[in-house]
Amino acid sequence: MTLSPIRKVFEGIADRRQMFRMFDRHAQRPNCFEDDAGGLYRDEWFELSEAEHDYMFEILPPLWMRGEMFAMREFLTGSITSVFFTLRIDDRMRYFHGYCDLSDKGSPERMRDVIVERQTRPVRAMTREERLEHIWSSTHDDYRGYAGERWPERDRGKRTVMFYGGRQGTTLKLLDALTDVEIAAKLPVHLRYLPDAIAA
């Protein structure tokens, strides 16, 4: 499974529990100890609070610091590590986490630029992809997973979520195949009726 380029994976400001869940939101992937998961994590980002940002800064001495960003000393996989950003957006300081591939020169700067560009667009709007990523990030591990051998071969390894269909009961559906109505039903009430954002 390969995900799209630089992408926002959670709407809102993550608290500490949510932050730690999103650090390894692909932990259930098939063959998780046999493959290089770099493509799954690379270029994911989300917003967090100042307290969570400072907490992560104090865990270990950073690998490096550059102005408004610092990189974690521990790598997630290969050359991918956490980079934390402190950015002034609309005259206030905001804090973000992103997974950057440090073997790709300029990766942290590109991530920063995408975050600033996305967060200066209408904040209260989401693309379809952002809605799906938020659903994946906020769904409990027991209710999300990956299509296995019972699925057609073309769908194996794709992300799945449990969906309650009223009288039809609960069914397992491919995340990417959810309809707009099903996506709205899976989102928290405060995110259901946000306007569509134009994808970058």
Residues 69, 166 within the same domain: no
CA distance 28 to 51: 28
Q: Which domain holds residue 86?
A: 7-120
Handedness of CA 143, 13, 57, 7 (dihedral sign): positive
Of the residues 120, 140, 175, the one at which a domain ends: 120
44 assigned to some structural domain: yes
pTM over 0.85: no
64 assigned to some structural domain: yes
2 assigned to some structural domain: no
Average pLDDT over residues 153-181: 85
Of the residues 102, 120, 138, the one at which a domain ends: 120
Of the residues 120, 141, 164, the one at which a domain ends: 120
134 assigned to some structural domain: yes
For the chain, the average pLDDT equals 83
Residues 23, 87 within the same domain: yes
E-assigned strand segments in 49-197: 64-66, 69-77, 80-89, 92-101, 144-146, 159-164, 170-174
- 39: pLDDT strictly greater than 70: no
- What SS3 class is residue 146? strand
Residues 29, 107 within the same domain: yes
**pLDDT digit string (tens) for 114-165?**
999 888 876 667 788 888 888 888 888 888 888 888 889 998 888 889 887 7
Q: List C-alpha distances in Å: 100 to 12, 23, 45, 186.
A: 21, 13, 9, 29
